[in-house]
Amino acid sequence: MKSAALIVIGDEILTGKVKDENSFVFAKTMFDRGVRVFRIEVIPDNIEIIADTVARHASVFDYVCTSGGVGPTHDDVTFDGVAHAFSFPIEEHYEAVQYFKLAQQNAGRGDVVSSTQMKMLRYPTPCTVYFIKPLWLPLVVVNNVYVFPGVPYLFETMMNGFAHLFAGGRFFRETVYTNLSEIQIAKDLQLVQTNNSDVAIGSYPKMPGGAYSVMITVEGVDRDKVHAVAQELLPMINGRMVPS
C-alpha cells in the first residue's frame, strides 16, 4: 500500500486568516487512488521549517505533497525550502519559462517575463514539471515531493488533473446511517471492529435535527468484506444505507 502526506504551508492558515480547503481535496483524491494518507501537517512560511518537514516526510512516505508558498511575494518560500531539504540549487526552468511566455502571448500580454514573475519559474534542480491547461503554473516534482499552489481553485484543478501520478491500490467504503446515539451503538461497533481487524470502522455524529444522528463508515481493500461488515452492522444499530 502506498503512503502519502500533505504539508500545508502558510502563516495565513496558522493565524486563522484563511481557511484550509486543500486538505479535504487531497485526502479524498488519495483515497480514490488507493493511497493511504498518514499525515497532514500545517507549517509556517519558514525555509528551515519547510526543509526539515519535507526531508522528514520524504524519507518516510511514498508521496509528499505541499500546498502553498509558490507565489511571487517575499513570503512565498516553498521552492527554497524544498531545495534546501535535498541540498539542490534553485535554477530558472527553461521549459516553464517558455510555457509561461506562450501563455502570456496568448493572453495578449507579450512575452516579457518580469523579475517578480521569474520568481515563480525558478525551481529546485533537478525536477520534473507537468502542465495542465488553462493554467500556466506547472506542478513541480522534486524526487517524491509534489509542489502544489495553495489557492484552492488551483490546488483542486491540479490535484484532479494529475491524480494519475499517484498510484496505489484500491479502497472500498460503505456508509451506514442511524438515528441512535454513539453511546447506544459504541459497544456493537467495538465488537464488530474487534472481530474484523482488516477493515476500519469509523463513527461520526451529526448535530441534532438532521436526517440521521450518526454516520458509520466501513473501509477496507476487500470489497466483499467491506460489504459484509456493513450488512452485519445494519440490524445491530438499526441502520440504513441512505441518510434520509
- CATH code, domain with 198: 3.30.70.2860
Task: Report the pLDDT value the prediction gives residue 162, as an integer from 0 to 100.
Answer: 98
- With CA atoms as reference, report the closest residue to 89 among 142, 19, 137, 11: 142
Q: Residue 237: is its pLDDT beyond 80?
A: yes
Query: Do 196 and 125 fall into the same domain?
Result: no
54 & 151 share domain: yes
Q: What is the pLDDT of residue 126?
A: 98
CB 1: neighbour CB atoms within 10 A? 10
10 shares its domain with 127: yes
Residue where a domain terminates, one of 99, 133, 165: 165
**pLDDT score for 112:** 84
Distance CA 223, CA 208 (A): 32
Same domain, 62 and 140: yes
The overall pTM is greater than 0.95: no
Within this chain, do residues 138 and 39 fall inside the same structural domain, yes or no? Answer: yes
Predicted local confidence at residue 244, as pLDDT: 61
Please tell me whether residues 24 and 122 are part of one structural domain: yes
The band of 4, judged by pLDDT with boundaries at 50, 70 and 90, is very high
Could you tell me how far CA 89 lies from the centroid of its own chain? 26
Q: Mean of the pLDDT values across residues 176-202?
A: 97
Beta bridge partners of 123: 91
Last-in-domain residue among 165, 198, 228: 165
More confident residue, 93 or 168: 93
Shared domain for 113 and 203, answered yes or no, is no
Domain-ending residue, one of 113, 143, 165: 165
Does 86 share its domain with 161?
yes
- The answer to whether residues 185 and 139 belong to one domain is no
**Alpha-carbon distance 219 to 225, whole Å?**
9
- At position 244, the amino acid (one-letter code) is S
CATH code: domain of residue 138: 3.40.980.10
For range 194-221, the mean pLDDT: 93
Indicate the pLDDT class of residue 108, thresholds 50, 70 and 90: confident
Which pLDDT score is estimated for 110?
A: 82
Identify whether residues 158 and 234 lie together within a single domain.
no
pLDDT at position 106: 83
**Contacts of the segment 139-144: beta carbons below 8 A, 24+ positions apart:** 140/70, 140/79, 140/93, 141/165, 142/82, 142/83, 142/86, 142/88, 143/58, 143/86, 144/58, 144/61, 144/62, 144/63, 144/64
Total domains in the fold of the chain: 2
One domain for residues 142 and 193: no
3 strand-pairing partners? 36
Per-residue pLDDT at 208 exceeds 80 = no
One domain, residues 158 and 189: no
Q: ∠ CA(195), CA(200), CA(206), 5° rounding?
A: 115
The answer to whether residue 32 scores a pLDDT higher than 70 is yes
Average pLDDT over the chain reads 95
pLDDT value of residue 46:
98
Which residue type is seen at 188? Answer: D
The residue range of the domain holding 156 is 3-165
Contacts of 17 (CB under 8 A, 6+ apart): none
